[in-house]
């Protein structure tokens, strides 16, 4: 009958509007997460560049410096600080490279929901990267402190030690002050948990010593699977020929 035909058309239009709305919400959430991804890439690139500069400066000074035969304790401290500075700064550069390259690749080329997963994973890596960067800064200043006792006279080395120690204290105190000033508590940050329902749950499970991808059906597929039994119930019991005669 005409009423049944109109009802079927209305149901189809509502299902299409629902899928369109879900698609628009997903696209807008991807745009927001992409802004956060770009922010992480810019921050990590800045940290990695400064760490690479400090590592290159420390390595160059270690190769070019001529150590006197005396002051063995100062040379031991210098060698320890140089080794620490190079290792920590190179670790920071390596971690920044891994996170930005692999994280951005997964976010842009991964499965549906990879953008949300990659951005959250990059956010979790920030603490370790910033700790490595801070240790690299202090180790580089330690190299300068030890080299002052190796190359300078005692009186000049004492003055240099006071200046370098003051710089270390200012770096640590200002870092704590600025972090406390701009620190965001978990309840103050903008999160996208309310939009997580538009993505399929994505993660990794380690079964049988092999990393496998865990992915649940998407909302659109669930909606279509729920809509199909309803449509089949509407057409159940009516043959195509009878439906054509009724029309």
Neighbours of 41 (CB within 10 A): 18
Range among 59-63, 103-107, 242-246 rated most confident: 103-107
pTM for the whole thing? 0.67
Which of the pair, 154 or 230, is modelled with greater confidence? 154
Q: 183: which 2 tokens?
A: 């620190």
List all residues 6 or more positions away from 151 whose beta carbon is below 8 Å from its beta carbon: 65, 68
Instruction: Give me the mean pLDDT over the 132-158 stretch.
Output: 92
Round to whole Å and give the CA distance between 96 and 48: 6
Q: What is the DSSP letter of 225?
A: H
What's the confidence (pLDDT) of residue 2? 64
Mean pLDDT within 113-136: 89
Looking at the predicted structure, is the pLDDT value of residue 50 above 90? yes
Neighbouring residues of 130: CB distance < 8 A, sequence distance ≥ 6:
47
């Amino acid at each position: 009958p005409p009423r049944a035909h109109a009802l079927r058309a209305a149901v189809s239009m509502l299902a299409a509007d629902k899928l369109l709305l879900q698609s628009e919400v997903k696209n807008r959430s991807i745009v927001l997460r992409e802004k956060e991804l770009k922010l992480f890439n810019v921050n990590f690139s800045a940290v990695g560049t400064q760490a690479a500069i400090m590592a290159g400066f420390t390595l160059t000074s270690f190769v070019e410096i001529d150590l006197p035969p005396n002051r063995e304790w100062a040379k031991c401290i210098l060698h320890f600080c140089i080794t620490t500075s190079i290792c920590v700064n190179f670790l920071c550069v390596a971690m920044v490279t891994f996170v930005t390259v692999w994280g951005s690749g997964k976010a842009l080329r991964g499965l549906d929901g990879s953008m949300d997963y990659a951005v959250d994973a990059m956010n979790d890596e920030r603490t370790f990267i910033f700790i490595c960067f801070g240790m690299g800064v202090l180790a580089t200043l330690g190299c300068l402190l030890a080299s002052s006792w190796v190359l300078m006279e005692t009186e000049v080395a004492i003055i240099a030690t006071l200046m370098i120690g003051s710089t270390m204290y200012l770096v640590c105190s200002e870092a704590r002050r600025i972090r406390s000033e701009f620190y965001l508590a978990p309840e103050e940050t903008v999160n996208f948990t309310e939009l997580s329902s538009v993505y399929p749950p994505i993660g990794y499970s380690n079964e049988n010593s092999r990393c496998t991808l865990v992915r649940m059906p998407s909302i659109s597929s669930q909606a279509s699977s729920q809509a199909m039994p309803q449509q089949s119930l509407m057409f159940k019991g009516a043959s195509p020929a009878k439906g054509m005669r009724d029309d």
